[in-house]
Amino acid sequence: MNRKKNLNQLHLILSVYPFMYLIFYRINKGAWPDSMDADNTKAIAVVSMISLFTTFVAINCIFRELTYTWSPNFLELSVICLSEAAVNQFLLIGRGIGTRFERKFDRLSYRDKAFIIFYATIYIIVLFLTFALTTPIHAPIVPH
């Protein structure tokens, strides 16, 4: 019984990723024509930005331990951004993780919804705090 409860909690924690898609999918849903698929596009864009921040936090933490400063150029940033967007598009839309979760979320209990919302909020707060603390600040060179 305890193992089943732990697996259920792990499943709810892993539901944070499609939940972030769901939030931005439902914001202003249907404002654009269906032919534009704007609801999916805006949701993928925001989830990609969040996963991009996660990638940058990981890179900053690694390079900080190596005492190396990483200053990406335009090409590196473009490759990372497009890769994040392609992976999120494939997983959330192509494989149907986001769309299935959107239908399933309304049937979840109030407790499960609150649990997922709590973990998503904590994840975003910790992510941005970690990003702010690990990103090196380059002071401008000012002659004295």
CA angle 136, 131, 66 (to 5 degrees): 50
CA distance 126 to 57: 11
pLDDT of the chain, 144 residues: tens digit per residue: 566 655 566 666 678 888 888 888 888 787 777 777 788 888 888 889 888 888 888 887 787 777 776 777 888 888 988 998 999 899 888 888 888 888 888 888 888 888 888 888 898 898 888 888 877 665 455 555
Is 45 contained in some domain? yes
CA angle 46, 109, 2 (to 5 degrees): 105
Is 112 contained in some domain? yes
Q: What pLDDT shows up at residue 132?
A: 81
H or E, element range at 21? helix 16-26
**Token couple for 96:** 């149907």
Is 72 contained in some domain? yes
Is 51 contained in some domain? yes
Q: What pLDDT shows up at residue 24?
A: 85
Q: How many domains does the chain have?
A: 1
Is 93 contained in some domain? yes
Ramachandran category for residue 96: left, alpha or beta (phi over 0 → left; psi -120 to 50 → alpha): left
CA distance 125 to 141: 32
Is 141 contained in some domain? no
Is 144 contained in some domain? no
Domain membership of residue 117 as a residue range: 2-28+36-134
Is 142 contained in some domain? no
Query: Which residue do the tokens 């939940």 mark?
Result: 19
